[in-house]
């Protein structure tokens, strides 16, 4: 097989689940997320992406996409159930998001997690040319760096965690805490979204592994592993261009007309996930209507909830709860042809998302916990006229960069309602000043800055970063 000097290893390949009859594949672009972050870099760089194609059975052979080789890893039904739905998303995900839902622990899930991580490590080892850079992504594959180092000590290995890393008192609950940490420490550089996460990791290295550690370096096995915060970002210029396209502007005008040309449109775009604060947001909106602070005809809400992990029971239960609450609110406050909440449980194209961003006077991004939240950054990028208000949870990673947003504690229902009203009633000057400041920050902290910063820290010469982000 062909080998590459740059290998990205992630749970999923960045392709559509279905391949067209002519064999063509396209990049799978979800709102926010890993693919949106890496796509603009990889499409101009000879590279291999190692990941799962989405089905069960033998790994399919996929064509290159934008010059990037697709190296598929096979997963069985049991692998998906025990590794992906089990250990990754019913053990690690809730634990890393402050136990919003109670994590579950099963030994067979851990066995599957080890087995699947080993398979990914072997695939990466086969795809990497001598001395290559392998960049391992996220919580599904935390054992891969250590396994890969054992297979290919010649490689330069990076690991980046896109989700939050929890405080020591939560992480210590994990039955396999030491193995997970040793897996991550197989990398040369471990990156996190926020400095607090790196601090948590360093504390745990001292406590669990009994090794010397600071918030920048951890010494282990005669090596020094560097750690740090590298807040992930987006391709701002791409979203700006998309949001200014005539067809997108026309679509935005049509959407606003379809909504009844209200004074205010509140938009939320989330994966259907219990960490996103969807229920709290709906409750705040309905109470503002009930209290007479807003009227449905004047202030409509659009809630996009992209289907997610629908085979995991907690997610099915959440969807049922959200849909019942939407039904209750519309039944109580809506009128014929005038629902209070326009609820869309579906995926959207990039162009349609850009149109929604242009329609929204208020973008409500209020997760209970989030590693970054790139939707917040996409909204800021799309507001090319420096208008629009971002209502942002202080528990999203983006809050560290967007201090000018209307920041809120989503657990505080009264505070959420008050801040939402503040954003709705803010003067155009205040809104524009805040948006202009956030857009200025995003312009200098875009996806290329993220990749350049991480890769410069990884290879410490700057040559690799300069080549990939030129």
Task: Identify the pLDDT of residue 465.
Answer: 62
Is 273 annotated in the active site?
no
Residue 17 Ramachandran class (φ > 0 left, ψ -120 to 50 alpha, else beta)? alpha
Please name the helix (run of DSSP H) or strand (run of DSSP E) that holds residue 169, with its range, or none.
helix 168-171
Domain boundaries, the chain: 4-232+447-464, 237-443
Helix axes 144-151, 177-184, angle to 10 degrees: 60
pLDDT in tens, 85-120: 999 999 999 999 998 889 999 999 999 999 999 999
| Domain at 4-232+447-464, CATH class | alpha beta
Would you list the DSSP string of 187-243? Answer: SSEEEESSHHHHHHHHHHHHHHS---B-SSEEEETTEEEEEEE------HHHHHHHH
* Domain covering 237-443: architecture: 3-Layer(aba) Sandwich (3.40)
What is the spatial distance between Cα 11 and Cα 43, in angstroms, rounded to a whole number?
19
Please tell me which residue in 370, 445, 446, 452 is annotated as part of the active site.
370
For residues 16 and 142, is the Cβ–Cβ distance under 8 A?
no
Residues 6+ apart with CB under 8 A from 292: none
Cα–Cα distance for residue pair 25/469, rounded to 1 Å = 25
Residue 459 and residue 226: Cα distance in Å, rounded?
Answer: 11
Does residue 48 sit in helix, strand or coil?
strand
In which residue ranges of the chain is pLDDT below 50? 18-22, 29-32
Q: Which one of 39, 162, 199, 452 is the catalytic residue?
A: 162
CA end-to-end distance (rounded Å), the chain: 28
83 — phi, psi (to 5°)?
Answer: -85, -60
- pLDDT of 19: 46
C-beta separation of 41 from 469 below 8 A:
yes
As a whole number of angstroms, the distance between CA 13 and CA 342 comes to: 32
- Predicted confidence at residue 17, as pLDDT, reads 55
List, for residues 168-205, the tens digit of each pLDDT value.
999 999 999 999 999 999 999 999 999 999 999 999 99
Respond yes or no: is residue 370 known to be catalytic: yes
CA angle 388, 391, 393 (to 5 degrees): 150
The reply to whether 237-443 shares the fold of 4-232+447-464 is yes
């Amino acid at each position: 097989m062909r080998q590459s000097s740059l290998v990205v290893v992630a749970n999923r390949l960045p392709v559509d689940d279905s391949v067209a009859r002519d064999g063509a594949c396209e990049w799978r672009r979800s709102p926010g997320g890993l693919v949106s972050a890496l796509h603009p870099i990889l499409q101009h760089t000879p590279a291999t992406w190692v990941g799962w194609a989405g089905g069960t059975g033998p790994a399919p052979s996929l064509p290159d996409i934008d010059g990037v080789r697709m190296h598929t890893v096979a997963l069985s039904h049991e692998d998906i159930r025990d590794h992906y739905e089990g250990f990754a998303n019913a053990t690690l995900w809730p634990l890393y998001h402050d136990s919003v839902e109670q994590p579950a622990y099963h030994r067979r899930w851990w066995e599957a997690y080890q087995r699947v991580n080993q398979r990914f490590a072997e695939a990466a080892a086969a795809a990497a040319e001598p001395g290559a850079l392998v960049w391992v992504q996220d919580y599904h594959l935390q054992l891969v760096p250590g396994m890969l180092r054992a297979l290919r000590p010649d490689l330069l290995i990076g690991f980046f965690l896109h989700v939050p890393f929890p405080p020591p008192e939560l992480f210590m609950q994990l039955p396999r805490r030491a193995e997970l940490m040793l897996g991550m420490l197989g990398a040369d550089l471990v990156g996190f979204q926020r400095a607090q996460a790196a601090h948590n990791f360093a504390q745990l290295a001292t406590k669990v592994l009994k090794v010397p550690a600071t918030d920048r370096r951890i010494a282990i096995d005669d090596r020094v592993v560097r750690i740090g915060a590298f807040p992930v970002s987006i391709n701002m210029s791409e979203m700006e261009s998309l949001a200014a396209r005539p067809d997108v502007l026309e679509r935005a005008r049509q959407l606003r007309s379809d909504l009844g040309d209200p004074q205010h449109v509140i938009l939320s775009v989330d994966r259907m996930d219990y960490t996103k604060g969807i229920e709290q947001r709906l409750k705040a909106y309905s109470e503002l209507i009930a209290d007479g602070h807003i009227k449905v005809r004047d202030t409509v809400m659009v809630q996009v909830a992209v289907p997610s992990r629908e085979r995991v029971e907690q997610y099915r239960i959440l969807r049922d709860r959200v849909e019942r609450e939407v039904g209750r609110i519309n039944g109580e406050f809506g009128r014929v042809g005038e629902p209070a909440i326009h609820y869309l449980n579906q995926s959207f194209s990039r162009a349609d998302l850009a149109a929604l961003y242009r329609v929204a006077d208020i973008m409500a991004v209020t997760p209970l916990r989030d590693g970054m939240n790139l939707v917040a950054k996409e909204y800021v990028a799309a507001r090319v006229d420096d208008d629009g208000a971002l209502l942002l949870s202080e528990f999203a990673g983006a809050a560290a960069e967007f201090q000018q947003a209307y920041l809120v504690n989503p657990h505080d229902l009264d505070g959420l309602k008050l801040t939402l009203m503040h954003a709705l009633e803010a003067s155009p000057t205040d809104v524009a000043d805040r948006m202009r400041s956030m857009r200025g920050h995003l312009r200098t902290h875009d996806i290329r800055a993220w990749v350049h910063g991480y890769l410069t820290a990884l290879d410490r010469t700057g040559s690799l970063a300069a080549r990939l982000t030129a």
